[in-house]
Amino acid sequence: MVKFLRWKKMPIYEYWCDSCRRIVSSYRQNPSAPLPHCPRCGNSKLKRIFSTFSVQKTYKDVYEDILSDRELTQGMMRDDPRALAEWNKRMGSGEKSPPEYEEITQRMENGEWPVTQIEEKRKEFSGQGENNSESD
């Protein structure tokens, strides 16, 4: 898989080592430079394999995308729960929310503020559950 390091945009190339039968990854500025040696067995006859690539955005890029979306920023200014759900989705870079927040996110995407659920989660995480208080 060819990926780019966030801080340098240097591609990662993958090679196959016939000797130890493993995939070897190598950070390379120039793909025409001499092939690397296998770090496990030292084999110098690696075969470059076809792989996919990905480019990951920095948080700055994500913020710039969000701020350039006029509809989203106006929704955030109006305290629209749909805008907050969209902002959260973009900041998560497509990662799925934990199961305990899926219903909350769904309600926000439908335009609801799930205040009761949010308060229950806050109490749960702060250790103030329903059974923690005793009355006289």
Predicted confidence (pLDDT) at residue 94 exceeds the cutoff of 70: no
Q: Are residues 64 and 10 in the same domain?
A: no
Shared domain for 64 and 52, answered yes or no, is no
What are the CA-CA distances from residue 62 to residues 8, 75, 112, 125 (Å)?
18, 17, 25, 28
**pTM over the 0.75 mark:** no
Whole-number Å distance between alpha carbons of 90 and 87? 5
pLDDT at residue number 131: 52
Give the three-class secondary structure for 133: coil
Say if residue 42 is in the same domain as residue 65: no
Residue 76 falls inside a structural domain: yes
- The pLDDT, as a whole number, for residue 70 is 92
- The CA angle 8-12-13, to the nearest 5 degrees, is 150
51 and 72: one domain? no
Given 37, 56, 75, the domain boundary residue is: 56
φ and ψ at 8, to 5 degrees? -130, -15
If you write DSSP's letter for every residue of 3-60 in order, what string do you get? EB-TTT--BEEEEEETTTTEEEEEE-S-TTSPPPPPTTT--S--EE----EE-PPPHH
Q: Give how many domains the chain has, as a whole number.
A: 2
User: Residues, the chain, total?
Assistant: 136
**Do residues 118 and 74 share a domain?**
yes
Burial of 128 (0-12, 13-18, 19+ CB in 10 A): exposed
Pair 23, 44 in one domain: yes
Based on the fold, state whether residues 45 and 77 are members of the same structural domain: no
In a domain, 92, yes or no: yes
Domain span at 65: 59-126
Same domain for 82 and 49: no
| Residue 39 resides in a domain | yes
Model confidence at 134, in pLDDT bands (50, 70, 90)?
Answer: very low
23 and 70 both lie in a single domain: no
Do 72 and 86 meet the contact criterion of CB atoms below 8 Å apart?
A: yes
- For residues 72 and 114, membership in a common domain is answered with yes
- Summarize pLDDT for 55-93 with one digit per residue, the tens: 677 878 888 888 899 999 999 899 899 998 888 888 876
